[in-house]
Amino acid sequence: MENKKSIAVDAKIYQKLVALKKEGESIEDVVGHLVDQATTADRNWGWRGSCKLVVLGPENAGKSMILKSFFENKDPRQLLSDFLLPTKTIEECVYQWLDVKVNVVEIGGVELDRVLNEGAKQAFSKANAIIYVFEMKAWEKDKEKIIADLAKISKLAVNLAPDASIECFIHKVDVLEKAKREAFADQVQANLVAGLKRAGARGNVEIHATSLVPGHELEVFRVLRNLLFKHSSILRQALLPGFLRV
């Protein structure tokens, strides 16, 4: 994957990453090397940390493909040329990412309203991140529903998953040509923020414009990696003072 952007991490971690940086490298390169080092090491790291991700959103939004490309290392090109059956239930999977045991709860689009209206206790309980995915082109038609869903999620999270960050993927941004894409994504983002405020959403909803189409896929990887990053003791150790890059 080509890494052109720097990743958004908190200031302390960022400083440590800068300290590990060799000449000519970007911060993304440093994280990439740390990840490679850990995944190719002979030593079996085992699970040291765990985290729970809940992924939900309307039907056909791209949730299953996002998860397969990130956690199963499936080539997005291949995935996009295939057909995936719609997710008809709530699917729970356990993935390993470095030394992190990641419990992923994926709520199929057909289950979305039921889960949100019935309280979502089990699905949301103790989640570390809740990711809501919708297709960019659905915005005009479905904006009220999207805002209502996100506001509901933010309120449910207060009691069920108080530590969870809430992430919203405006997905399939590739369907618009570049010039229009950025302006439209900015407009959707501004309307979403205003709508969430009106709807009394609680806490912060982080909004990301995403796509799996090659050339655009970095944002999905960046967001997921930054969510998991905090739970990895390998990366935490690597970031301690005195750690030397091999």
Ligand X SMILES: Nc1nc2c(ncn2[C@@H]2O[C@H](COP(=O)(O)OP(=O)(O)OP(=O)(O)O)[C@@H](O)[C@H]2O)c(=O)[nH]1
Nearer CB in complex with ligand X: 55/151: 55
**What's the rounded Cα separation, in Å, for the pair 166 and 131?**
6
Q: Please, what is the minimum distance in Å from the beta carbon of residue 102 to Mg ion?
A: 17
> How many Cα atoms sit within 13 Å of 195 on the Cβ side?
19
Counting contacts by CB under 6 A, is residue 62 touching ligand X? yes
Counting contacts by CB under 6 A, is residue 109 touching ligand X? yes
Among residues 9, 62, 64, 135, the one that binds Mg ion under rule CB under 5 A: 64
Q: Please, what is the minimum distance in Å from the beta carbon of residue 3 to ligand X?
A: 19
The pairs formed by 239-244 with CB atoms below 8 angstroms and a separation of 24 or more are: 239/13, 239/16, 239/17, 239/20, 240/16, 241/16, 243/20
Among residues 3, 6, 60, 103, the one that binds ligand X under rule CB under 6 A: 60
* Contact between 131 and 111 (Cβ < 8 Å): no
Counting contacts by CB under 5 A, is residue 154 touching Mg ion? no
Point out which span in 17-25, 46-54, 144-152, 168-176 binds ligand X (CB under 6 A): 168-176
Sign of CA dihedral 222, 228, 232, 236: positive
* Contact between 192 and 207 (Cβ < 8 Å): yes
Provide the binding-site residues for ligand X, judged by CB under 6 A: 59-65, 80, 84, 86-87, 108-109, 171-172, 174-175, 211-213
